[in-house]
Amino acid sequence: MKHLIASSFFVIFSLTPSLALMNISDSHPLDGSVGTQSIHVNAFRGMVSIRDNNVLSEWDGVLDYENAILVAKLFSKMACVLTKMDEAVFPTLDDISKALDHQALKHYPSTRGLTYIVLPNRVKNLAQYGAPIKDMCRQVPTYFAQQQKEGSALAIDPDSCFEVQILSFLGLTICGEIPGL
């Protein structure tokens, strides 16, 4: 019986660090804004969930690393925007986990300046993108957005843009008129 108890403790203590890496959460004030941002990393599922309650630009988001998809629910627009993540520019899941552990945020490359343009066609079948995205965008129209290539000049109305910030190193702009609103 003593060996069983001792081996149980060994298993628990040896698995605890690996289980801790599967789920990491943090909540922190945002620089220059009124609100906080809660981020939850589920490394096992390859997802990052974000809740940004900034009173000026409230939004929820999911970064699905397995499918390279970013979705943001923009509360002021009452719509969701779905786009492919450019894996060459986005921080990795490990980078975000390390940043949440407060390990040198300044060492991660900034993606500020990435702009996404909302396309006019609505997403018809959210279920194909998985339950977290389907649940988040339920009951609001969802649109695809396309990353604007750097250096390409489009006439964009700045009033149609929404700023999204994740931690201090990931900043995106989503622009375009959302049809029907």
Q: Is residue 121 part of a domain?
A: yes
Measured distance between the N- and C-terminal CA atoms of the chain, rounded to whole angstroms? 67
Residue 111 has pLDDT above 90, yes or no: no
Q: Is residue 59 part of a domain?
A: yes
Contacts of 65 (CB under 8 A, 6+ apart): 46, 47, 48, 85, 92, 93
Residue-number span of the structural domain to which 79 is assigned: 23-175
pLDDT 10s digits, 12-67: 444 434 434 445 555 545 444 566 788 888 988 999 999 988 777 789 999 999 99
Q: Is residue 11 part of a domain?
A: no
pLDDT at residue 61, as a whole number: 92
Under the banding of pLDDT at 50, 70 and 90, the label for residue 72 is very high
pTM score, two decimals?
0.75
Q: Is residue 57 part of a domain?
A: yes
Q: What is the mean pLDDT of residues 141-168?
A: 75
Under the banding of pLDDT at 50, 70 and 90, the label for residue 176 is confident
Query: What is the count of structural domains for the chain?
Result: 1
Give the residue, 167 or 148, on which the prediction is more confident: 148
Q: Is residue 8 part of a domain?
A: no
pLDDT at residue 8, as a whole number: 42
pLDDT at residue 151, as a whole number: 55
Angle at 80 between CA 86 and CA 78, to 5 degrees: 150
Highest mean pLDDT among 54-63, 120-129, 144-153, 172-181: 120-129
Q: What is the mean pLDDT of residues 70-99?
A: 88
Dist. CA 34–CA 45, nearest whole Å: 31
> In Å, how far are 44, 110, 118, 127 from 32, measured between CA atoms?
33, 17, 26, 36
Angle at 46 between CA 105 and CA 12, to 5 degrees: 90
Q: Is residue 1 part of a domain?
A: no
